[in-house]
Copies of this chain bind each other. A is one copy, B any other.
Amino acid sequence: MNVVNIGLIGAGTVGCGVIKVLGQNLDIIEKRTGIRIELKRIADIDPDRKRPVDIPKSLFTTDARELLDDSSISIVIELVGGTTVAKDIILGAIDKGKNVVTANKALLAHYGKELFAAARRKGVNIGFEASVGGGIPIIKAIKEGFVANKIISIHGIMNGTSNYILSRMTEEGKEFDDVLRQAQIEGYAEADPSFDIDGIDAAHKLSILIMLSFGIFLDFKKIYVEGIREITPIDISFADELGYKIKLLAIAKSKDGGIEAGVYPTLVQKETQIADVSGVFNAIYIVGDSVGPTMLYGMGAGMMPTASAVLSDVVQIAKNMETGDSHTSLPKLYNNKNSSFLIPMSEITTKYYLRFQVEDRPGVLGQITGCLGQNNISIESVIQKGRHLGGGEVPVVMMTHDAKERDLLSSLKAIDSLQVVKSKSIFIRIEEL
């Protein structure tokens, strides 16, 4: 039997999950792998806080350095979060020759390159399965399962809060603000929800999947990110009428030697698997050149699912240690292309959903289609409703054929300056899966 001592830094929700899962499943892990995991020490700034699991007080310290200095601990689990203290902890652990397991997507998105380089130098591993998709084994799937594939595209629902809000807006026809407030009360959204609803969290995760799929760490600031604050029930309802749902997707597509990448709301056809991913669930739809289309689905967050992923990393590293290999599974950054690898959003080509708020009188449609036509944008379908005799404002909804985003933005600029157009025009990209 191979005993592996681990230390846990950060005994919050996921940390308590790790302790709980170990309590439940230590024996079956040992039966399956021959590895016995011993939780040796826990560092947390508040040992006395009420927690959902019983933890012997003697395990606690308030000083993370105690764990790093404990030579019997070979794997440190970092669940502090954020990009400051957590970074110091991980670099400190690596420096002491310890392996690291982390769920910290923000940290990896910003400093992954540096952290992996440090780990490689020291010959230790960093496990980060829990950083994307909670309990879904997506890191392992891309890194190992699809290793013989060129990745063609990734479409991920990777933020449970946003998906929960959009799902409820769709089911209940309510405004964004109302659903957000409700989600906050129910604990599905943070008091400061920006990371989730503005797409930043999903972009962190996307940058990790891009690293694994394309061998490059993109400058995080260059990834296009657009959240769901501007999504309205009226657009959800028009999308529904057209056969679509609105989902916040994290997208990366291989195109002409580069990639298109971004996080933004999209229309996806109702019959697609990803359109059915509701509530707090996550799913990552990946197309590889040999495996074809695949999707992995599950709970993208939460105490127990995330702990499941953390412990799968612990076991994997413990196995590697057994054979004297603690770092060959570090991802390789083999792609030497510079940031030109990322195709600017202005250059992408896709279909668009457009909504214009216009004066309700003859000739308006002609003016709009004129602006679109002048910019090489052709229209696939139009919905025009609520026409009354006389004045008033009515929505006009269009779906375009494939168009270049630069052209679309030019046409919208022209359209928004028309006298008959009463407010800023709405565009939402359409993804065909």
- A contact set with B: CB distance below 8 Å: 17, 20-22, 24-25, 28-29, 31-34, 129, 135-137, 140-141, 143-150, 215, 271, 273, 276-277, 288-299, 302, 304-305, 307-309, 311-312, 315-316, 319-320, 322-325, 328-329, 331-332, 334
Contacts and interface: CB of A to CB of B under 8 A. Distances in A.
Copies of this protein in the complex: 2
27 contacts: A17-B290, A21-B290, A28-B150, A32-B147, A32-B334, A137-B140, A137-B141, A137-B145, A137-B146, A140-B141, A144-B312, A145-B312, A148-B315, A276-B276, A290-B305, A290-B311, A291-B298, A291-B299, A291-B305, A292-B298, A292-B304, A293-B298, A319-B328, A323-B324, A323-B328, A324-B324, A325-B325
A20 B137 CA distance: 27
A42 to B, nearest CB: 18
A20 B31 CA distance: 39
B334 A148 contact: no
Given A146-B312, A147-B312, 18 more contacts: A24-B290, A29-B148, A135-B292, A137-B141, A137-B144, A140-B144, A141-B145, A146-B308, A148-B308, A149-B308, A273-B276, A276-B276, A290-B304, A292-B304, A294-B296, A294-B297, A322-B325, A323-B325
A129 to B, nearest CB: 7
Contact of A215 (B17, B32, B148, B297): B32
Contacts of A320: 323
A295 B292 contact: no
Contact of A140 (B140, B323, B331): B140
A294 B298 contact: yes
A315 B135 CA distance: 24
Contacts of A329: 319
